């Protein structure tokens, strides 16, 4: 094998397993939930819509009438598979796409911020989320197993995948307002972020999340993750970072 540097070509950037797993947690709308059957403990897998909490922990909206919820009531241990199924990497082989298998426990939550975060990612769920048999659930991750290609198979700890939100309470409380403000007053900036910073085609992007490390934009069933140039822990810093990102994106457009 020829070394890229010897051939006068730039070396490939070092693979960042943590970043790959974090991206899957933040930019995936559908996953496969595995529970243990209450009748005999056999594995049972089902599809579930998923969204990330402020720290990245998976949130699900489940009905008590569903078999997986009945299983959870008997045994809260679960596994959740997230994969880049909406990404087109140019290959017809789905096994080339990154995926992460998470293990942990799941519990219902009545936190309104969690509910609203999920519903921003899945607005069509707002109607049935009010039904009495539906509740929001949060997965407490114990471990992760990332498969991102040949030689890129890594076991991960929760700290490798989730944000440490201690000290970011004000930012978390301000998130819903920040998202609404971006959608209502800065739709043009959102399109710039998506097209210039993420390389996405077209427009019509809306903001669904603003956490410590980036914005999440949605169009249809696809999410675009726009990373911040630095970790953000307060609303004041967030405003400065978003303004600078917009200025940088406009400068790139003007340079074309």
> What is the pLDDT averaged over residues 55-66?
97
- Answer yes or no: do 152 and 197 share one domain: no
pLDDT value for 7: 46
> What is the pLDDT averaged over residues 12-39?
93
Q: Is residue 44 part of a domain?
A: yes
Last residue of a domain, one of 162, 177, 193: 162
Q: How far apart are CA 61 and CA 69, in angstroms?
A: 10
pLDDT value for 241: 97
Instruction: State how many domains the chain has.
Output: 2
Give the domain CATH number at 92: 2.30.110.10
- Answer yes or no: do 24 and 121 share one domain: yes
Last residue of a domain, one of 162, 192, 207: 162
- Answer yes or no: do 243 and 204 share one domain: yes
- Give residue-wise pLDDT tens across range 141-199: 999 999 988 779 999 999 999 999 999 999 999 999 999 999 999 999 999 999 999 99
- Answer yes or no: do 23 and 131 share one domain: yes
- Answer yes or no: do 153 and 196 share one domain: no
Give the domain CATH number at 218: 3.20.180.10
**Residues sharing a CB contact under 8 Å with residue 214, sequence separation 6 or more, in sequence order:** 26, 225, 226, 227, 228
pLDDT value for 254: 80
pLDDT value for 149: 80
Q: Is residue 226 part of a domain?
A: yes
- Answer yes or no: do 157 and 168 share one domain: no
pLDDT value for 53: 98
Q: Is residue 6 part of a domain?
A: no
- Give residue-wise pLDDT tens across range 199-234: 998 889 999 999 999 999 999 888 999 999 999 999
- Give residue-wise pLDDT tens across range 84-120: 865 555 566 777 789 999 999 999 999 999 999 999 9
Q: Is residue 248 part of a domain?
A: yes
pLDDT value for 1: 32
Q: Is residue 3 part of a domain?
A: no
Q: Is the pTM of this model over 0.85?
A: yes
- Answer yes or no: do 133 and 148 share one domain: yes
Task: Determine the structural domain holding residue 73 and report its residue range.
Answer: 12-162
Q: Is residue 56 part of a domain?
A: yes
- Answer yes or no: do 26 and 117 share one domain: yes
Last residue of a domain, one of 112, 136, 162: 162
- Answer yes or no: do 140 and 185 share one domain: no
Q: Is residue 1 part of a domain?
A: no
pLDDT value for 174: 97
- Answer yes or no: do 192 and 154 share one domain: no
For residue 255, what pLDDT band results from cuts at 50, 70 and 90? confident
- Answer yes or no: do 133 and 203 share one domain: no
- Answer yes or no: do 71 and 126 share one domain: yes
């Amino acid at each position: 094998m020829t070394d890229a540097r010897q051939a006068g070509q730039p070396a490939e950037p070092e693979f960042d397993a943590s970043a790959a797993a974090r991206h899957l947690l933040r930019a995936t709308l559908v996953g496969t939930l595995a529970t243990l059957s209450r009748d005999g403990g056999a594995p049972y897998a089902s599809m579930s819509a998923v969204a990330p909490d402020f720290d990245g922990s998976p949130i699900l909206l489940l009905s008590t009438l569903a078999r997986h919820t009945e299983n959870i009531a008997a045994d809260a241990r679960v596994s959740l598979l997230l994969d880049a199924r909406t990404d087109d990497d140019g290959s017809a082989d789905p096994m080339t796409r990154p995926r992460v298998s998470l293990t942990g426990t799941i519990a219902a939550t009545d936190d309104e911020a969690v509910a609203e975060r999920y519903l921003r990612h899945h607005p069509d769920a707002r109607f049935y989320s009010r039904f009495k048999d539906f509740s929001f659930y949060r997965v407490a991750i114990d471990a992760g197993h990332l498969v991102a290609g040949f030689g890129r198979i890594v076991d991960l700890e929760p700290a490798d995948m989730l944000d440490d939100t201690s000290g970011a309470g004000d930012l978390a409380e301000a998130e819903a307002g920040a998202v609404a403000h971006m959608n209502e007053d800065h739709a043009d900036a959102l399109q710039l972020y998506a097209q210039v910073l993420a390389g996405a085609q077209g427009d019509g992007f809306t903001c669904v999340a603003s956490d410590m490390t980036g914005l999440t934009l949605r169009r249809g069933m696809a999410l675009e993750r726009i990373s911040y140039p630095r970790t953000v822990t307060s609303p004041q810093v967030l405003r400065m970072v978003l303004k600078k990102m917009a200025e940088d994106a406009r400068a790139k457009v003007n340079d074309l």
